[in-house]
Every structure is written in C-alpha cells, then in structure tokens.
C-alpha cells in the first residue's frame, strides 16, 4: 500500500506544479491586457458606459461558458479544454489587430470571456481534486500567488508598451503568450485524468451537502456580491486615474504593479491563516479591508498618485487575505468526482457579479458621477460582510483543520 500512496502523492504534486505553471502564463496575458482595456476604449472615443458595457459583455460570456467548461473537465479532463481556450484567446488578440470599432471590441470581449474563463473552473477543480482538505488554504494561496507573480511588472511593461509603441504591440505580445500557454496546457495536463485522488473520503451526507446544500448556495451568492464590488473597482480605478486624476498609462501600470507585489507577498500567508484560524474569520477580515479603498475614493480625498498607491495596496491586502479562504471553502464542499461541475456552478455566481459590477458602475458613473459609483462598490462589500457574519456556517471539520 505504501508504494501506490507514494505514487499518488507524487502524481498529485505534479498536477499542482503543472496547474501553477499554466496559471502563470494565463495570468501573464491578463496582467498585460486588462488594466489598459478601459484606456483603449477611451482612445476609440468610448465613454464610461462603453467601458462598463465591455466589462459586462465579458461577464456575460463568463456566465454562459464557465459551467460548460467545468462540466467538460469532468468528462474529458483538463488538457484539451484548456488548450482550445488559450488558442481562441490568441485568435482574439489577433482580432484586436484587425479592427478598431467599438462593436468589434464588444464581440472580441465576448469571445475572450468565453475562452479566458476556462482556467477558473478547471484550475480550481484540479486543485480541489488532488489536494487534501487540510492543505487547501495554503495551496489556493499558492494558486493566487502564482497569478500575481506572473502579473508582477506587467502593469509597468504594458504601460510602457502603450506609451511608446501603442496598443498594437500590446495585442501582439498577448497573442503570442496565449498561444504558448495553450501548448503548455495541452502537453502538461494531458495525463491528469488518471491521477489517483488523494482527498479524504467523504460520506453520503458530505456529498449531498456539497452538491446542493445550504453552504454551497450561500457561498455562491457571496461570490456574486463579492465579484460585483471587486470587478467594479478593477474596471473603474484605471478610468478614474486617467480621466479624473490625469495619470499616464505608465502610472496606472505602476499602480497595478504595486497591488501585485502586495498580493504576491501576502497571499500564501493568507492561505495559511485560513488553514489555521478558520475560513470564516479570515474571509470576513479580507472583505472588510477590501471595502475601505472604495469608501476613500468615494469621499473624494484620494487625489494624488501616492493616495491611489496606498489604496491599491490596501485592496491587494484584503484580496490576499480573503481569496484563499473563499476558494478553500468552496473546494471543501465540492462533491468528489464532480469538482469541475461544482467549480463551474460556483464560477457562474462569480460571473453574475462580474457582469453586474462594470455595467452598474458605468451607468452610475455617467449619471451620478464617479464618487457614487465607488460608493456603490463599498455598499456591496458591506452587504457581503453582513451575509458572511450572519448566515455562513462553516462545517466543524473545516473550522478545526490544521495547517498540515
């Protein structure tokens, strides 16, 4: 029995390594492109509503596709779905080189959303499937840290490219990187279907609760609210920096880099806290911290680069603490053998928030002004915190697990 167990552990570690490597390439492209999409739309003559609409179109694509990708993982594994998704993303960036119409941007953002979202349910499902409960907070911290490490410096690089060579150079690099990540995903993950599971055995009651129970539904609702506020902040902070405070693309990229460094340093420790102190208190602390930057921007006192740098760092601290706890919770309740579907369903709830956040933020920005838009993000964070404190009941076996 010792040899099969050791082989299963080795195989699981290999899966984790490959997932983290694939995630790094995926995040590299996102870090290069996402902070500058609002600036690109503005350069085409688009308004804040147009920026919000582009984000909402992406969120709609996430909403429609994420569950499908998760179900596909359960049926055919990870290699082919991830490879196809990355190749489509590469084609999207080639499409950005072809036309500059706003309607074309919306179409490309929808296609990019469909392809990009594959990494979320498949990556998390692979980790949920191959990592035991007592170490999930730490591994989810490593998962987010890998994303952040890949994005570290991309804000500066992307801003420099936009300022010196223009958006076309940025799109070309993203296309090549997406193609490379598809090849890594296919050759690195094509044998993961047959890897021996190392998760702890679950009872029938565990599976019922995990698949359809109260905690799963509540966690999904919380994800929707959380991503409403988070996507709103992510979408409109660059626009606020460029149009209200008149920062350059390089300065906006530096803000993104500052946040990335903070997340890089604190996410693994945040995951360890979730394993040691419990998922719920760590999640509440993270949400509370992430609500503060939106309050400060709404108040109108953040008028300098230094102020925005502190706020970006504060948002990063909250995300670094809260994200591993939230992801570990949903991994804890994902039913064995259906991790892909569970992560896809959970991701759909996130996508609803991602759809609402940019759309509502853009409408509020144009009709009531930027302070009201950011105040709405803070309000949504407050509602999320209240729901976690009042309604979320963490199962005892999750609350008492150690760091491992």
Window from 11-15, 248-252, 274-278, 354-358 with minimum mean pLDDT: 11-15
Residue 337's pLDDT is 62
Which tokens belong to 269?
């420790």
Confidence class for position 378, pLDDT limits 50, 70, 90: very high
| Domain residue spans of the chain | 2-195+204-399
Distance from C-alpha of 163 to C-alpha of 169, rounded to nearest angstrom: 11
Q: What average pLDDT does the structure give for the chain?
A: 79
Residue 204's pLDDT is 40
Nearest to 185 by CA among 108, 252, 90: 90
303, pLDDT greater than 60: yes
Euclidean distance between the first and the last CA atom of the chain, given in angstroms as a whole number: 22
379, pLDDT greater than 90: yes
Distance from C-alpha of 358 to C-alpha of 331, rounded to nearest angstrom: 27
Distance from C-alpha of 208 to C-alpha of 230, rounded to nearest angstrom: 31
* 168 vs 124 pLDDT, higher one: 168
**Which residues contact residue 2 at a Cβ distance below 8 angstroms, ignoring those fewer than 6 apart?**
none
212, pLDDT greater than 60: no
Superfamily of domain 2-195+204-399: MFS general substrate transporter like domains (1.20.1250.20)
199, pLDDT greater than 60: no
Residues 264-268, mean pLDDT to the nearest whole number? 84
Which tokens belong to 350?
């996130």
Residue 262's pLDDT is 86
Residue 195's pLDDT is 43
Which one-letter DSSP state was computed for residue 380? H
* In contact, 170 and 162? CB cutoff 8 Å: yes
Q: What does the CA dihedral 395, 398, 401, 404 come to, rounded to 10 degrees? A: 160
Which tokens belong to 306?
């230094």
Distance from C-alpha of 144 to C-alpha of 154, rounded to nearest angstrom: 16
Distance from C-alpha of 230 to C-alpha of 378, rounded to nearest angstrom: 10
Which tens digits make up the pLDDT trace of 222-239? 888 988 888 888 888 888
User: At 268, is the secondary structure helix, strand, or coil?
Assistant: helix
Q: Which helix (H) or strand (E) holds 105?
A: helix 102-116
Distance from C-alpha of 274 to C-alpha of 399, rounded to nearest angstrom: 9
* In contact, 232 and 373? CB cutoff 8 Å: yes
Distance from C-alpha of 266 to C-alpha of 304, rounded to nearest angstrom: 25
Distance from C-alpha of 277 to C-alpha of 111, rounded to nearest angstrom: 40
* In contact, 266 and 280? CB cutoff 8 Å: no
Name the H helices within 278-369: 279-299, 305-332, 339-368
Considering only CA atoms, give the Rg of the chain: 20
Residue 18's pLDDT is 79
What global pTM score does this model have?
Answer: 0.65
* 122 vs 108 pLDDT, higher one: 108
Q: Which helix (H) or strand (E) holds 67?
A: helix 48-76
Confidence class for position 191, pLDDT limits 50, 70, 90: low
User: At 395, is the secondary structure helix, strand, or coil?
Assistant: coil
Residue 295's pLDDT is 92
Which tens digits make up the pLDDT trace of 304-359? 899 999 999 999 899 888 888 887 887 777 666 666 777 777 777 877 887 788 88
Which tokens belong to 105?
């941007």
Confidence class for position 394, pLDDT limits 50, 70, 90: low
Which tens digits make up the pLDDT trace of 48-97? 778 878 877 887 888 888 888 888 887 887 788 888 998 999 999 999 88
pLDDT > 90: what percent of the chain? 14
């Amino acid at each position: 029995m010792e040899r099969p167990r050791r082989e299963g552990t080795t195989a699981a570690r290999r899966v984790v390594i490959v997932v983290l490597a694939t995630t790094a390439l995926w995040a590299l492209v996102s870090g290069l492109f996402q902070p500058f999409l609002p600036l690109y739309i503005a350069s085409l003559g688009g308004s804040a509503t147009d920026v919000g609409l582009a984000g909402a179109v992406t969120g709609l694509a996430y909403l429609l596709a994420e569950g499908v990708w998760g179900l596909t993982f359960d049926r055919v594994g990870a290699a082919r779905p991830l490879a196809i998704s990355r190749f489509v993303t590469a084609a999207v960036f080639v499409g950005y080189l072809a036309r500059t119409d706003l309607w074309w941007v919306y179409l490309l953002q929808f296609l990019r959303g469909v392809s990009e979202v594959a990494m979320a349910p498949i990556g998390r499902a692979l980790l949920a499937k191959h990592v035991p409960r007592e170490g999930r907070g730490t591994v989810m911290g490593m998962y987010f840290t890998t994303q952040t490490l890949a994005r570290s410096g991309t804000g500066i690089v992307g801003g420099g490219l936009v300022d010196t060579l223009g958006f076309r150079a940025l799109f070309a690099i993203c296309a090549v990187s997406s193609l490379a990540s598809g090849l890594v995903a296919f050759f690195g993950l094509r044998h993961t279907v047959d890897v021996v599971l190392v998760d702890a055995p679950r009872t029938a009651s565990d599976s019922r609760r995990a698949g359809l129970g109260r905690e799963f539904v509540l966690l999904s609702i919380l994800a929707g609210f959380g991503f409403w506020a988070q996507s709103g902040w992510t979408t409109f902070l660059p626009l606020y920096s460029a149009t209200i405070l008149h920062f350059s693309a390089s300065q906006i990229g530096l803000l993104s880099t500052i946040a990335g460094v903070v997340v890089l340093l604190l996410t693994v420790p945040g995951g360890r806290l979730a394993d040691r102190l419990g998922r719920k208190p760590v999640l509440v602390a993270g949400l509370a911290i992430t609500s503060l930057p939106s309050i400060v921007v709404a108040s109108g006192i953040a008028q300098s680069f230094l102020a925005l740098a502190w706020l970006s760092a504060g948002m990063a601290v909250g995300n670094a603490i809260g994200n591993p706890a939230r992801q570990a919770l949903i991994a804890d309740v994902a039913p064995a053998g259906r991790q892909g579907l569970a992560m896809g369903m959970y991701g759909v709830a996130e996508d609803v928030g991602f759809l609402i956040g940019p759309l509502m933020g853009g409408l509020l920005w144009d009709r009531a002004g930027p302070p009201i838009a950011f105040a709405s993000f803070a309000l949504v964070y407050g509602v999320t915190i209240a729901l976690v404190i009042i309604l979320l009941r963490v199962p005892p076996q999750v609350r008492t697990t150690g760091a491992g």
